[in-house]
Amino acid sequence: MYYNENTILFLDGKFVKAKDATTDLFNQTMHYGYGTFEGIRAYQTVHGVKIFKAHEHFDRLQRSCDLVGIPFTYSAEELTQISYQVLKRNNLKDAYIRPLVYCHPNMTLSAPTGVSVMIAAWEWGKYLGDQLVKVCVSSYQRPNPKSVKVEAKVCGHYINSILATNEAKHRGFDEALMLDSNGFVAEGPGANFFFEKEGVLYTPPLGNILPGITRQTVLEICREMDMLVEEKHFRPEELFEADSAFFCGTAAEIIGIESIEGQSFSKPWNHSMGAIVQEAYKCIVLDKSYSYVIV
Ligand code: PMP
């Protein structure tokens, strides 16, 4: 699914066949989840294949490593060029790119002496599909920022995301919405969250969430289009009074939410502010211009 006989990936300075790439079983990432990664998308645009916000993603990868003490010193530009090479060597146009920084063998809990860098790419549809999603409020909280660096994209943090998604699926929902350790709405297991109420979009502030690059893009779209948007803390009960809501993330893009805990939103998705943002986002990633008149 992710690679075949001929797939090429980047590993520590070399382009190698994915099927031949190996790793040491005694690395800290495999045992303790001590590694960092990114999720990036490339699009076939009218101006050729473009990686969306590549530098922002590689800057976040660097920041993730710095926050948890993983030594890592590739430049964002260098990693961007390598990613374009991975796409080209695999003849990929619309693709998902996965950089992973993993640690060298070390079974202690002290800082690693060295790391490996892998960059792979594959074709991947919208992570949560094309249909509106049915969401539940998770019994799992996002990790407490006093316990981990929540703003870092660290491998081990995703156990929390996997638990929440699995619980949601077992309960018959498509995806989970997670609260922070104070009981405020935080984000999805792999996407940020917005809701609409009386002509304003609301999203949780930074602090207890991953600072999503798509979230930032949504904020930029709103400012450009004069849509009102506010970052604030809110409790899940407030969502039952909301007009609409959506998740946003690199893998999921912008995906509308049908219902939360079985309660549907009053506004049809097509008439929501999220649908306008979704259209604008599509234009931006495809390098097309967009213009809307909000009446
Ligand atoms: N929150 C979490 C927990 C995520 O894993 C992701 C995906 N990276 C996001 C939000 C969205 O971030 P981005 O828009 O940068 O993909």
pLDDT digits (tens, 9 = 90+) for 245-254: 999 999 999 9
Residues of the chain with CATH 3.30.470.10: 8-122
Residue ranges of the chain with pLDDT lower than 70?
Answer: 291-295
Give 176-210 pLDDT, tens digit per residue: 999 999 999 999 999 999 999 999 999 999 999 99
Map residue 125 onto helix, strand or coil: coil
pLDDT at residue 295, rounded to an integer:
46
What sign does the dihedral 133-134-137-138 (CA atoms) show? negative
Q: How many CB atoms lie within 10 A of CB 237?
A: 9
**Which of 134, 153, 169, 267 is an active site residue?**
153
Residues with CB under 6 A from ligand 1: 39, 161, 187, 190-192, 210, 212-215, 249-250
**For residue 215, how far is its CA from the centre of ligand 1 (angstroms)?**
8
Which pTM was predicted?
0.96
Cα 207 to middle of ligand 1, angstroms = 14
Active site residue 53: no
- Burial letters for 183-193: b for 16+ Cβ neighbours within 10 Å, e otherwise? ebbbbbbbbbb
Task: Output the CA 5–ligand 1 centroid distance in Å.
Answer: 30
Give me the CATH code for the 133-285 domain, please: 3.20.10.10
CATH topology for 8-122 is D-amino Acid Aminotransferase; Chain A, domain 1 (3.30.470)
